Structure 1
Amino acid sequence: MNTAIEKARAIITGYRGPKIRIMEVCGTHTHEIFRLGIRSLLPENVELISGPGCPVCVTPVSYIDEAIFLAEERHATICTFGDLVRVPGTAGSLAEARSRGARVQVVYTPLDAVAYAKEHPGEEVVFLSVGFETTTPAACLALKRAEAQGLANFSLLTANKTMPAAYEAMASHTDAYLYPGHVCAITGTSLPEALTQQGISGVVAGFTASELLAALAVILERSRTGKTFFANCYPRVVRPEGNPAARALVAQFMEPCDAEWRGLGVLEASGLQLRAAFAARDARVRFSIPEIAGRERPACHCGAILQGLEKPTDCPLYSTACTPDHPIGACMVSREGACSAYYLYGGLGRNFA
């Protein structure tokens, strides 16, 4: 075994300090930690909790309702990633709308939606633009291409979000963050470094077994000092300056706005909306979408799970009424959702590697 991995593993299994709660902000981290059996290494005084790091999961019910309204009332063609098709809205999902005759196309990239719009000039095509700093540049690139090609039938329904406000909102629920490597590859390290001034600790982590073990070991070692800390444990991808070109592309087309997060409510300046110059590409403006107040299913505990206040197994619907085949909550639908990870890997932290 690699010496560095052995050392990290020894630090983790030998931790005898005070109880510590570490929040995985990235859904991929949640799944990989389960898949690799890392939870089985953790002593009882180290708790991993899943946070609001899945863009599909934090997208509010009202957004799904808006998409269904566009498909059924405005007869637009909805282009979307596959996960969103099955997320329940107030009165159903996009999959159900499609079964009733609505046009819903699953695409793999936003550029696929642009290509569809070009191939179907007689249809109004709306791409469901969700995601954090990692995927937002791709949506802006699609918009840039649609502009360059003069495609008048292409627009975005935005639900893009940025992580800073969420980090601050969740700080009281965790002792240290396992920061998402993909997001930090875009934003750089200045934000988590600055958060140490607010007493918020965390480490940027990669996605391999060695990278995740190293990040967890650093958190446990640094926490012993009692001081706030930050470390970049994913330097092969995350650089201090991040990706300035990607951020510039987003700034060209989008600007900050207040945004609703499932479970967290409205967080100030945590969303991104199209700039006024691109209002014709904004589906809410283009199709005069009325204000829609979505209704959560009262028995679903996704909101509490996304805040790290509950585990998926605390939800009364988990693995009974709510399963991957028949999901009731967004956390079970998404491949990055915490409920999906618990269901797939048993929720017991066993070594499935």
Structure 2
Amino acid sequence: MKLLWKVLCTLLLLIQAVLGNWWNLAAVRQQSPHGNTSLDTVMPLHKDNCHRLEYLVERQKQLCLLSDKMIQVLQTGALQAVEECQHQFRHSRWNCSTSIAENSTDIFGGVLKFKSRESAFVHALSAAALAHTVARACSRGELNECSCDARVRKRTPRHWQWGGCSEDIRYGEMFSRDFIDSKEDKNTNEGLINLHNHEAGRRAVRGRMQRVCKCHGMSGSCSVRVCWRRLPQLRLVGDALITRYEGASHVKIVERKRGKNIRKLRPLHSDMKKPNKTDLVYLDDSPDYCEPNEELGILGTSGRTCNRTSAGLDGCRLLCCGRGYQTRVRDHEEKCNCRFVWCCKVHCEVCRYKKDHHVCN
């Protein structure tokens, strides 16, 4: 067991991330040829391990030690965040790959060293996923520090009543803010940008909380309607954040002296709108993701599968960066002509066909 833990620690230190290093808890162990992470085999962590995780700052270790299941909740949140990032960028030139460059200790290589749109998205998703995971763990009774949201019951709606277990997004936000933001310095450009994007991610969860109701009464009369608040699926949050990513605001840091220095985010150009608290913001242009860059851990798009008929990001023209593509014919098999046989089986034939497969040069 000691040897196993030493191997895990070595692995975690090798894949240190820039997001307050919280992503390390995903404990990635397998990678596909194109950098997408396989999260099927992940080693569970335990409360006693919190002090040994050197990439956590002291405050993060304290929060990790709150309860026996806290570190498992943190690990689950990290895994879900990586999976959602890779889903949202699956058709993009940068596909949220987690291949590590030889000279880098970051899980995303050196990509997030740029305060780019991609960095803004990853930071926002990180904060959102942690708030989401903690709030859900609260409602399931997995954490001692929280449970259902009792505050909503103090309201008195007219045609229905609060009941059930409302998921406490306020506690999830508070924990996410305390844990992830604790490693950021708002007096630095990077810290100010990251803090803004963290908050935008948390607001993306809060703004999509759903009210769910259930009817009670004789013969389905719905004389009493009981409602509670439920978290949105993380996929909905990811969809919202990818839209914010596409419209992210290019900003600069402006310092004003009014008794003390006040640092604000302002649009890079005066004709651009001022970003609000739900917008993603970035300082740097994105690096070139078309060609491999070992220093930054960028894999390039050579060998990626593209869609010849698509005019979108997954289309061969955009994804292959003008280098062209190759068409390969592959044999495929699938079940077909299925029929029900009494009783109780389904018999299918196996149909074989050829399908074109397009790969970037």
TM-score (structure 1 length as normaliser): 0.23
| Structure 1 or 2: more helix by fraction | 1
> Relative contact order, CA 8 A, sep 6+: which one is greater?
1
Rg (Cα) greater in structure = 2
